[in-house]
Amino acid sequence: MNNDFKELRLDGVTRRFNAGGKASFNAVSGLTLTIKQGEFIALLGPSGCGKSTALNLIAGLLPLSEGGIWLDDERIDALPPEKRGFGMVFQNYALFPHMSVMRNIDFGLRMRRTPAAEIATRVANVLKLVQLVGQENKLPGQLSGGQQQRVAIARAIVIEPPLVLMDEPLSNLDAKLRLETRSEIRRIHRELGSTTIYVTHDQEEAMSLADRILVMIDGVVQQIATPEEIYSQPANLAVASFMGYRNMLELAVERQDGERVTLAGPDVRITGTRKLPLTNGHACIAMRPEEMVVGDGPDGANTFSVHIDGVEYCGRDSLLDVTTGAGFRMHVRTNQRFAAGETVRVHVPVERVLVYPPA
Amino acid sequence: MAIPIQRVTFDRTLLLVMPAALFMMLLFIYPFLYGLLLSLNPPEGDWLDNYQKFFTTDNLWPTIWTTLRLAVPVTLINVGLALPIAFKMRVHTRYQRWITTILVVPVSLGTVLIAEGMLTYFGPKGWLVQTIQFLHLYEGSIRLTHNFWGVLISLVISGFPFCFLLILSYITGIDPALARAAATLGAGRADQFRQIYLPLLAPGLAICFCLAFVQSFSVFPSAVLLGAPAGPTRVISIAAYEAAFEQYDYSLASAIAMIMGFVQLLIVAAVLGLRNLFYRGPAMGGKG
């Protein structure tokens, strides 16, 4: 397997599973993506969306039902995992419990019949990189979760694979360690320049690490874009919902003026930006709680009164559970202090209201 | 504020062990001690006379070798056959349940029933020999009953399911992600087995070997029914039986039983000693 390739191409990658009897469902359907060398791609989606299946398909741990995987001009989807030579970091680490840290890390090199002297230098280098010098002779069971995770990363990158696959590598770590290991992963990726596909359900993790994010829901790719674009311009209602646009209202369309759409309900009138063509007279708006502002908007635009039902204290700010007079439930994030039972005026900037066809 | 010092006190839940301990005392330790004392009290002569007699009588001491010659190959065959089959059966397939059921059925048959069946099917006029001769696969005379081979086959039939089930449960306890991880690191099937499964299975194989060995070392009914109890399959339990129920020398019979137990203990201790050379911990690769 050559290390300097130009791109990895997934072409209509599909995986079907039997769902009992003759029924089947697509865990991954029609995944098409081109990854350039050195890129960091995050596969983001809710649990059960097929992102781990996609990773296993790329690694060769599952056969494809349809489609192809190409490394430059070489088709690799029929190769077994040991012939693809991609490094993989498993969710539960999958360290060999009977081998020392050293033996775990040099396993891939031993399988490649690398000369002993080269193994020694490469393992020494990677131990330094993941900061595990001095732990070589311990068994995985004697390490902490964070150290185990770093052994798993070291084991995958020491073989200098063309592609590193990571399957929710941080999900078993506590919050502090997760942040630290996240920075480690970013540092290692920067130092080695290795092409990485990283599976996660955590949008913050995906945004902080990836060059590009692929959002997958129910086995179908919803959007492939930069973190910034995914965050501020979700391609559809499902992505918006997953990316934290918690306030969703279905309203009647009152006026359309190019991309600008005004929708009206019994006691709200909201103008937003249309993301997809609208067909029938209804549309769904999506707004983030943190982009709602307490107080009247300029010229009273997009402003309405809400009743505070509950206050969730979050430290730096609070999350208000509110309802409009007609009973629309919404969430507003604010750093002002309010108490349940109060009535306040809130508004939301026109460009931060996204309008989609109803689901 | 002073922190109260926690003292280690007697944990009364330990008392729950009592019924089992009592049971062991009554059913194992008491008969064992009774037999030991009986063996050291021959009707006439010195306290070690029975043991002296065993190791100097020509139809007694060779029974140790006769039994070992049967039990060791049987155990190796059972463990050796069960390991690859159980390894194949570790992944769920459509046929797994059927194959497992078929393989395990003999465990429900008694040794006598197996012997009865074998006498019919493997005997000189049984269908197996007749088929082989009909197809001219082997022209010489075939004898699979009333000799060493008859006992060996019957011990494999009755012992295999036991080894298979035991090893299957050990194999399914190994996290399949470990083999997948090995595969992504370049290990083919053979290396996955050699580097991952075998070392993690070794302690379980040792236990399986011990249990299967003890089971076949104490063979009795099939050695009588399917073997040649006067010669090649005169195993140690037959010697003990003859002493007890033909010569009515309970004291000598007890001594033979003690020697039998000692040989078993020796082999088991040796195998378990080897087992300590291997990793013995959870076969999982990290946090579950």
Q: Mind spelling out the 3-state secondary structure of B38-63?
A: HHCCCCCCCCCHHHHHHHHCCCCCHH
Distance CA B240, CA B237 (A): 5
Of B13-17, B83-87, B133-137, the range with the lowest mean pLDDT is: B133-137
Distance CA A161, CA A15 (A): 24
B3 is a domain residue? no
Distance CA B194, CA A33 (A): 37
> Which residues, 6+ apart, have CB-to-CB distance to B71 below 8 Å?
B155, B213, B216, B217, B219
Distance CA B157, CA B106 (A): 7
What stretches in chain A show pLDDT beneath 70? 1-3
Of A241-250, B99-108, B169-178, B225-234, the range with the lowest mean pLDDT is: B99-108
Residues in B touching A60 (Cβ below 8 Å) = 183-184
B156-184 pLDDT, tens digit each: 998 999 999 999 999 999 999 999 999 99
Residues in B touching A172 (Cβ below 8 Å) = 286-287
Looking at the 3D structure of chain B, how many domains does it have?
1
How does the average pLDDT of chain B come out, rounded? 89
Of A346-350, B138-142, B267-271, the range with the lowest mean pLDDT is: B138-142
- Residue B211 sits in a domain of what CATH number? 1.10.3720.10
Between residues B157 and B2, the one the model is more confident about:
B157
Distance CA B263, CA B259 (A): 6
Q: What is the pLDDT at residue B141? A: 77
B59 is a domain residue? yes
Q: State the pTM of this model.
A: 0.82
Which of B239, B231, B233 lies closest to B256, judged by CA? B239
What distances in angstroms separate CA A331 from CA A232, A315, B163, one per listed residue?
Answer: 18, 16, 62
Among A98, A159, A165, the residue with its CB nearest the CB of B200 is A98
B261 is a domain residue? yes
Q: Determine the distance in angstroms separating the CA of A300 from the nearest CA of chain B, rounded to an integer.
A: 54
Q: Say yes or no: B285 contacts chain A, CB-CB below 8 A.
A: yes
Q: What is the pLDDT at residue B286? A: 64
B282 is a domain residue? no
Backbone φ and ψ for A314, nearest 5 degrees, come out as -120, 15
B183 and A82: CB-CB below 8 Å?
yes
Residues in B touching A147 (Cβ below 8 Å) = none
Average pLDDT score over residue span B142-156: 89
Sign of CA dihedral A54, A60, A61, A62: positive
Among A92, A107, A139, the residue with its CB nearest the CB of B185 is A107
Pick among B175, B180, B185 to test the A interface (most A CBs inside 10 A)? B185
Residues in A touching B275 (Cβ below 8 Å) = none
Q: What is the pLDDT at residue B4? A: 66
Which of B214, B226, B210 lies closest to B260, judged by CA? B214
Interface predicted TM-score (ipTM) of this complex, two decimals:
0.83
B194-216 pLDDT, tens digit each: 999 999 999 999 999 999 999 99
Residues in A touching B182 (Cβ below 8 Å) = 96, 107, 111
The size of the A-B interface in CB pairs under 8 A is 100
Pick among B184, B193, B198 to test the A interface (most A CBs inside 10 A)? B184
Residues in A touching B196 (Cβ below 8 Å) = 96
Looking only at the bridges linking them, the beta strands covering A220-225 and A212-217 are antiparallel
B110 is a domain residue? yes
What distances in angstroms separate CA A82 from CA A1, A214, B58, B152, B190, one per listed residue?
Answer: 11, 26, 60, 42, 12
Distance CA A137, CA B14 (A): 38
Q: Is pLDDT of B1 > 60?
A: no
Percent of chain B scoring above 90 in pLDDT? 58
> Which residues, 6+ apart, have CB-to-CB distance to A2 below 8 Å?
A71, A72, A162
Q: What is the pLDDT at residue A3? A: 61
> Which residues, 6+ apart, have CB-to-CB distance to A96 below 8 Å?
A103, A104, A107, A140, B178, B181, B182, B195, B196, B285
Give me the residues of A, 154-183, that contact B with CB < 8 A. 155-156, 159, 165, 172
B287 is a domain residue? no
Q: What is the pLDDT at residue B145? A: 86
Distance CA A212, CA A205 (A): 12
Distance CA A77, CA A84 (A): 9
Q: Say yes or no: A81 contacts chain B, CB-CB below 8 A.
A: yes
Q: Is pLDDT of B79 > 90?
A: yes
What distances in angstroms separate CA A79 from CA A64, A75, A136, B88, one per listed residue?
Answer: 11, 9, 32, 22
Q: Residue B82, class by beta-carbon neighbours within 10 Å (0-12 exposed, 13-18 middle, 19+ buried)? A: buried
Q: Say yes or no: A95 contacts chain B, CB-CB below 8 A.
A: yes
Q: Is pLDDT of B271 > 50?
A: yes
B4 is a domain residue? no
> Which residues, 6+ apart, have CB-to-CB distance to B227 below 8 Å?
B146, B147, B148, B150, B151, B233, B235
Q: What is the pLDDT at residue B140? A: 75
Q: What is the pLDDT at residue B231? A: 84
Q: What is the pLDDT at residue B288? A: 43
The residue segments making up the domain with residue B59 are: 26-275
Confidence of residue B287 (pLDDT cuts 50, 70, 90): low
Q: What is the pLDDT at residue B2? A: 62
The answer to whether A140 and B286 have CB atoms below 8 angstroms apart is: yes
The answer to whether B205 and B120 have CB atoms below 8 angstroms apart is: no
Which of B130, B275, B137, B133 lies closest to B204, judged by CA? B275
**3-state SS class at A16:** strand
Listing DSSP states for A143-156 in one string gives S-HHHHHHHHHHHH
Element (DSSP H or E) covering residue B87: helix B62-88
B1 is a domain residue? no
A81 and B278: CB-CB below 8 Å?
no
Instruction: Report residue B17 as tokens.
Output: 């062990």
Q: What is the pLDDT at residue A163? A: 92
